[in-house]
Amino acid sequence: MITDSYNRIHNYLRISMTDNCNLRCFYCMPEEDYEFTPASRLMQANEIEALAKIFISNGVDKIRLTGGEPLVRKDAADIILALSKLPVALTMTTNGTRLDDFLDVLKKAKMHSLNISLDTLHREKFQLLTRRDQFEKIINNIHLFLKNDFHVKVNVVMMKGLNDNEINDFVAWTKDEPVHVRFIEFMPFSGNKWTSNKVFTWKEIIEVVEQKYKVIRLEDAKHDTAKKYMVPGHKGTFAVISTMSAPFCAGCNRMRLTADGKLKNCLFSKTETDLLTPFRNGEDILPLIHQSIQAKAKMLGGQFTEDFAHIHAEEIANRSMITIGG
């Protein structure tokens, strides 16, 4: 078991497969000319598998693949299939642009559920947010995966003045299709132009939905970061991930491995522990994993509190989201 000093058991690992991406979401990848990490410095496919096995032997039973965009990696299929053979629930967060090429691989890997990110239902706004013209491709791929009975969660980063006017359009989508929309409060990362007045909170989101719909709150599963709701009679559900206004650190069970093999004990941790270099040197990395998790802060990487109005984003020491793995 991997536990921290607050007795939180860490059984959920997010692995970033790459910091490369084919979109340029401004809140995630601040600079258009960001230089991606050279392949030799990334964990190789066999290294990802070997590191995953060490975590699994020590109690990890859920792995989420992320990035960057996991599906831009040339050996993505090999990595997914190798991890699918391990005794772990495997899932993924993707921008959805390449999913059609991976339908058979994901079926073979028995990955029944996945998160697809889409912040707007308007093509022009999508282009503004991501600096790329891939809206139709993603919508088509969401439909393709729904048709193939995948449990599809749609991640929507909610930003005041940008897409808060689309909240009820997303909820309307859950009426006839079994999509599970997850509104994510906008979070501060290095260089991403975050200011507290752009956060549209959990409570504000629910107020907007309640102006149009009668909603019911669904029960939270253990370790769930999402507060779940549904409109009675709708096929899908919606949820809010309230990291900023109501953090869920008390039940945190997550660790993150960056694409260059650094362990982050929290999304907002200041420090990280290099596992890849000692692993390549043949050293035992288990003590490093335990040390890193033991040093985990009680909440939000010890860098801020839920009083988010007083956060100065430029004072937070962290990577940009694309280099962490969301």
By a kind-dependent CB cut-off of 5 to 8 A, residue 184 interacts, out of ligand SF4, ligand SAM, none, with: ligand SAM
What residues contact 129, with CB distance under 8 A and at least 6 apart? 25, 26, 27, 119, 120, 162, 163
Return the structure tokens found at 303.
């860098």
- In the shown chain, the binding pattern of residues 48 to 87 toward ligand SAM, with x for contact by CB under 6 A and - for none, equals ------------------xx-x------------------
By a kind-dependent CB cut-off of 5 to 8 A, residue 266 interacts, out of ligand SF4, ligand SAM, none, with: none
- Scan residues 14-73 and list those touching ligand SF4 (CB under 6 A): 21, 23-25, 28-29, 67-69
Cβ count near 40 (within 10 Å): 6
- Scan residues 112-171 and list those touching ligand SF4 (CB under 6 A): 117
Q: Could you tell me if 298 and 6 are in contact, meaning their C-beta atoms sit under 8 angstroms apart? A: yes
Residue nearest to ligand SAM (CB): 326
d(CA 64, CA 126): 25
d(CA 316, CA 295): 18
Binder among 2, 17, 21, 289 for ligand SAM (CB under 6 A): 21
Q: What is the largest CA-CA distance in the chain?
A: 59
d(CA 236, CA 173): 8
Cβ count near 215 (within 10 Å): 17
Tell me if residue 207 falls in helix, strand or coil.
helix
* Chain-centre distance for alpha carbon 252: 14
Nearer to ligand SF4, 69 or 185 (CB): 69
Indicate whether 276 belongs to the interface with ligand SF4 (CB under 6 A).
no
Indicate whether 184 belongs to the interface with ligand SAM (CB under 6 A).
yes
Indicate whether 321 belongs to the interface with ligand SAM (CB under 6 A).
yes
Cβ count near 309 (within 10 Å): 11
By a kind-dependent CB cut-off of 5 to 8 A, residue 29 interacts, out of ligand SF4, ligand SAM, none, with: ligand SF4
Which residues contact ligand SF4 by CB under 6 A? 21, 23-25, 28-29, 67-69, 95, 117, 322
Which residues contact ligand SAM by CB under 6 A? 21, 27-28, 66-67, 69, 93-95, 117, 155, 157, 184, 186-187, 189, 192, 321-322, 326
